[in-house]
Amino acid sequence: MRIGTGYDVHKLVEGRKLILGGVEIPYSKGLLGHSDADVLIHSIMDSLLGAAALGDIGKHFPDTSEEYKGISSIKLLEEVKKIIEEEGYKIGNIDSTIIAQKPKLSNYIEQMRKNIAKALGIDVKYISIKATTEEGLGFTGKEEGISSQSVCLIF
């Protein structure tokens, strides 16, 4: 058994869609990034790659590559699943936290869990997603960005 952690952050900007866990969330701003900037999926991918000692998403999907410009992070997550399975690993479980002052995310978490479980080919009961604010503190509290932390178990 191996564990891995992942962290990602993206800046909130106008003119972009807000995608978290593969769900488009109605909001006045979205996350800036080369792909769809889904911080939740990015933190999960980094936790999985880290657990397998295979680097990070920048190594596998560089933001200098046109191939990944605007790509759905769910598609990248499916690729990470293939990468870790080629190394002989299976996913045990994933526990993630999204840190965002706004918008409220509770109505979207179940769909996020389903999207991630489907992409990874595992039962949704092995995917935990929580959301929290930082009570107005820091860049997330000031609504300048959104971050996510994830931990996973592979075996």
User: Taking every pair of C-alpha atoms in the chain, what is the biggest distance, in angstroms?
Assistant: 43
- Classified as helix, coil or strand, 98 is strand
Distances (CA, A) of 45 to 95, 141, 148, 154: 12, 25, 11, 12
What DSSP letter does each residue of 59-78 carry, written as one string?
A: HHS-TT-GGGTT--HHHHHH
Whether residue 35 is annotated as binding a ligand: the answer is yes
Whether residue 134 is annotated as binding a ligand: the answer is yes
Whether residue 135 is annotated as binding a ligand: the answer is yes
What the block records as the tokens of 113 is 């869990």
Whether residue 132 is annotated as binding a ligand: the answer is yes
The number of angstroms, rounded, from the C-alpha of 117 to the middle of its chain's C-alpha atoms is 12
Whether residue 60 is annotated as binding a ligand: the answer is no
The 3-state DSSP composition of the chain as helix, strand, coil percent (nearest 5) reads 35, 30, 35
Known binding positions for a divalent metal cation: 8, 10, 42
Q: Which residues are annotated as a binding site?
A: 8-10, 34-35, 42, 56-58, 132-135, 139, 142
